[in-house]
Amino acid sequence: MLVRSNDIKHIQLAIERLAPTEQDILLFFVAENTDLDLNKLIQHLNHQSITFMGGVFPGIVYHARHYSSGILVLKLPASHPPLLFPLSASNSRMEIWQPLLDKINRTFRSCIVLVDGLSPHIREFLTAVYHQLGGYSFNYFGGGAGSIRLKQQPCVFTSAGIFQDAAVMVFTPWESHIGVSHGWERLYGPIVATKTDGNTIKELNWQNAFDLYRSIVEGDCQTPFRRENFFAVAKQYPFGIYKEGEEDIVRDPIAVTEEGGLICVGDVPENTALYILRGDPEKLIAAARQAARRANDVAPLAFREVLMADCISRVLFLEKAFQQELQAVASQVHPEIPLPVKGILTLGEIASSGHLYLELFNKTIVIGQFYETDRPGAVY
């Protein structure tokens, strides 16, 4: 449900219409230009004894339109509170994961994950999730919260408060189908990230990363490429991490350090083979349509939610054509059930389907269709 007002009374009316039970969780996706006191909202929800989690994102999507202000409120069955994790090198310690292992069981089929999109530790967190829970064959859907201004700040929240460098996640018995695609094409490579530090590429092919990247990009765009216009040019030329048999995993360079390092959304392991990619609007829109088609494997009569995690940098690249991307996704939803596509504009996208590895993507679109099932043992 979309709430355009920041008044707690209007949010409460939306909650009453959704009528959550003790077996449900409410997801709050808040667009960053919403003038909302999150602490006040959290206090109100705690007073109502409502189970919830959420994040602040560059934008939200509802009914093939995107908004930079407003609140999207969704209800899913969960039957356990959301789990909050710090994003740090200690994520792999078993004692941190034990509360999660104690709570989940094999009746849960899907997981929603929201992270601080500007944290340098997202990938190691997702790796720990996959290694600890790989035997459960969950489908994962989610994305990075944060500001389009690329300033890190508290952006994910639960009943315990609002957090930076953190992740929140919840499991649901609803089944899901996940579609992932990006449409960016290789321009140059491979090149090797010979020196990195988390989400900063310091050297490419043993050369200063910005110097080499700039020489390649300038040769294609025919535009002077300087620190002052870095993001305006770089948004058209992301990196692709080689992935055998699949689309490259995109890494979005968002800033350059004083030393010429390239700061990306998501980490880049040292000695990774990279390609410099280039975008064409028609191919990105076609990829969005393909992602929706891949997720659209649900019986028409199943009750469901259609959720989208779409990178904010696709909005910035496509500009007015982004509306065509939203319409392309909506065109693939079953016409028998005219449910709106809802979602978040993110700083990095999270997805995995069944046996596939849990990944952080950039400049990518993820579509998830979530639906209830009559599978024996399911809990609602």
The pLDDT tens digits for 292-346 are 988 886 655 556 789 999 999 999 999 999 999 999 998 887 656 666 889 999 9
319 within domain boundaries: yes
- Let me know if residue 308 belongs to a domain: yes
**Residue 73: enclosing H or E segment and its boundaries?**
strand 71-77
Please indicate, yes or no, whether residues 165 and 288 belong to a single structural domain of this protein.
Answer: yes
In total, how many domains does the chain have?
2
Distance (Å, rounded) from C-alpha 43 to C-alpha 55? 16
147 and 287, same domain (yes or no): yes
Whether residue 222 lies inside any domain: the answer is yes
| Other residues' Cβ atoms within 10 Å of the Cβ of residue 242 | 14
The last residue of a domain, from among 246, 276, 306 = 276
Q: What residue type is 74 in one-letter code? A: L
Q: Note whether 309 and 354 are same-domain residues.
A: yes
Q: Are residues 223 and 292 in the same domain?
A: no
Say whether both 229 and 246 belong to one domain.
yes
Tell whether 242 and 301 lie within a shared domain. Answer: no
Last residue of a domain, one of 254, 276, 298: 276
160 and 62 in one domain?
yes
Say if strands 166-172 and 110-116 run parallel, antiparallel, or are unpaired.
Answer: antiparallel
Residue 379 domain flag = no
For residue 369, give the 3-state DSSP assignment: strand
Integer Cα distance of 25 and 158 in angstroms: 11
Which of 77, 304, 318, 54 has the alpha carbon at shortest distance from 176?
A: 304
308 and 244 together in one domain:
no
Task: Mark the ranges of the chain whose per-residue pLDDT is less than 50.
Answer: 94, 375-380
- Residues 240 and 218 both lie in one domain: yes
- In the chain, the amino acid numbered 360 is L
Give yes or no for a cis peptide into 190 (omega within 30° of 0): yes
**Residue 120: predicted pLDDT:** 87
**376 falls within a domain:** no
Residue 380: inside a domain, yes or no?
no
Same domain, 269 and 315: no
pTM summary value: 0.91
Q: Based on the domain organization, do 318 and 200 belong to the same domain?
A: no
52 bridge partner residues: 26
Which domain range does residue 232 map to?
185-276
CA 45 to CA 30: how far, in whole Å? 15
**pLDDT value for 317:** 93
Query: What's the pLDDT score for residue 379?
Result: 32
Crossing angle of helices 94-103 and 122-133, rounded to 10°: 50
8 A C-beta contact, residue 156 and residue 116:
yes
Q: Are residues 312 and 338 both part of a single domain?
A: yes
Question: Residue 296 phi/psi, 5° resolution?
Answer: -90, 65
Flag whether 377 is in a domain: no
The predicted structure's pLDDT at residue 108: 80
Q: Is residue 378 part of a domain?
A: no
Report which secondary-structure segment, H or E, holds 139: strand 139-145
Domain end (from 260, 276, 292)? 276
